[in-house]
Amino acid sequence: MSDSSSTETLLAILRREVAGLAPGDRLPSSRELIARHGVGPVTVARAIAQLAAEGTVVTRPGSGTYVAPRQARSGDAPGDTSWQAIALAGRDRGTIDADPGEADGPPAPPPPGTVPLSGGYLHENLQPTRALGAALARAARRPDAWHRAPAAGLAPLRAIFARQAGGTVGPEDVLVTGGGQGALSMLFRAVAAPGSPLLVESPTYPGALAAARAAGLRPVPVPTDEDGVRPDLLADAFAMTGARLFYCQPTFHNPTGTVLAPRRRHQVVDVARAAGAFLVEDDFARHLGHGGPVPRPLVADDRDGTVVHLTSLTKPASPSLRIGAVIARGPVMRRLLAMRRVDDFFIARPLQEAAVELLSTPAWDRHLRSLATALRERCAVLAGALAHELPDWTLARPPAGGLHLWLQLPAGLADTALTEAARTHGVAANPGRHYFPSEPPATHLRLNFAAATEPVDLTEAAHRLATAAHSLT
């Protein structure tokens, strides 16, 4: 058993014991805990330190560990926050309560034994943790590691993002951001006035819908098919709404995994240009391909600033590597820089330095190659298991990149009811309704094949999903 799992097990035991004690009662000594539970002194020390940090116990050197006073632990009498109802009056909660975390943010801890197929991140064993640690250590040793960073970001990092985009993109076109979600929020606020329409693919990333609504924008759905967004309907939507902003994910779309067809890529940009609108290209999954060719970003072939490009390192690396970039040309970049100076001045330099270190080493390329192999294997395992266990669920086309399978459910099977039933059977999944800006045309489920510990867990998850589905019929 690993140190972390031993600590969690001991913590659970001690929390139950403390719940039955009175404030001031003394806990067993460290020596007694080691002998009673068969753990090491480091595990005991970590567990006691965690309980002390939570305010559950207090430690007295030379005396022992005691149950903390109840008020110090949690405060039995909650404060009165009713005054906030008046202070927040006039702010429509619907514009800011949309929950991006429902689909892609940090999920609530699932019950023990649950196979996670929800969320939008890699399992820890797919993340380059060793390379990340080494990069952060090297970055910390730089003499200027804690100096103020430029508002637009470190020059070497901007150059790396520019090279990744290709075409005529240069470092001067790059603004380093704190991940993709913050960049979306900043961009929506910078480009469109509150009350304006925002065209989005339907379905789309729920975090984009949440950021749009928080900025006061009105998401307007544009239907997609197996080749991505339809240019004819996009042109109709621009004409009908007068929108000046279109958000899309042309490569390994979330949630469907679709890649915008080659014949449509120029058409979509041309439609936006003709409308005098910006096209926001969310390229979050460029490093999540499964080993095949990945098309050039739209921004690589755009010379007049129609395309505003977003990218991020959080998906292929780690949720805590909150480093991304916006690529833009013209006055919109100057506006984004002005917002940066209002919002947060600059992105923490040590994290930028660590990103430069990570992306500049052979370890990053090795990680991306091994990640592509792992994602391809996991995608095939889950798709095959679902086809065997649930043949009436529809997977239109296995994705060539990304982290998810997007499945249409049989008529009469509600996605929310299914996800609740799945949770009771030990599987966490995302209901499809959260990915639509308006009424869903059908019921869907999104499954993350990269969140489980091992590929074998995906086969078990498919079996549990079948059991959950049959329990509802």
Q: What are the structural domain ranges in the chain? A: 3-73, 110-126+365-471, 129-361
Per-residue model confidence as pLDDT tens digits over 104-155: 654 556 678 899 999 999 999 999 999 999 999 999 998 888 898 999 999 9
Run of H or E including 133: helix 129-140
Architecture of the domain delimited by 110-126+365-471: Alpha-Beta Complex (3.90)
How far apart CA 289 and CA 406 sit, in angstroms, is 16
CB 283 within 8 A of CB 237: no
Query: Of 472, 461, 471, 290, whose CA–CA distance to 388 is shortest?
Result: 461
* Angstrom distances, CA of residue 345 to CA of 165, 180, 325, 351: 25, 17, 15, 15
Q: In the structure encoding, which two tokens stand for residue 90, read together?
A: 């006039």
**pLDDT given at position 100:** 47
- pLDDT at 451 (0 to 100): 94
Q: Specify the pLDDT at position 28.
A: 92
Which stretches of the chain drop beneath a pLDDT of 70? 1-4, 71-110
- Give me the residue label for tokens 């005054």: 83
Tokens of 382: 């889950």
What are the helix (H) ranges across 360-406? 362-389
User: What are the angstrom distances between the C-alpha of 163 and each of 172, 235, 337, 461?
Assistant: 12, 31, 21, 40
The DSSP code sequence of 249-272 is --SS-TTT-----HHHHHHHHHHH
Give the count of alpha carbons within 13 A of 412, CB side only: 5
Whole-number pLDDT of residue 101: 46
Q: What CATH number does the domain located at 129-361 have?
A: 3.40.640.10
Report the candidate in 255, 253, 243, 239 with the shortest Cα–Cα distance to residue 281. Answer: 253
The residues facing 325 across adjacent strands are: 176, 311
**Of residues 282, 274, 257, the one with CA closest to residue 399:** 257
Cα distances (angstroms) measured from residue 135 to each of 124, 274, 364: 17, 44, 10
Is 3-73 in CATH node 1.10.10.10?
yes
300 φ, ψ to 5°? -65, -30
Q: Taking each helix axis from N to C terminus, what angle separates 179-191 and 206-214, rounded to the nearest 10 degrees?
A: 40
Closest CA to 432 of 259, 282, 255: 255
Which residues make Cβ contacts (< 8 Å) with residue 288, sequence separation at least 6?
252, 315, 316, 371, 375, 401, 402, 403
| Residue 256 contacts residue 262 (beta carbons within 8 Å) | no
- pTM of structure: 0.81
Q: Please tell me the distance from the alpha carbon of residue 366 to that of residue 363, in angstroms, as a whole number.
A: 5
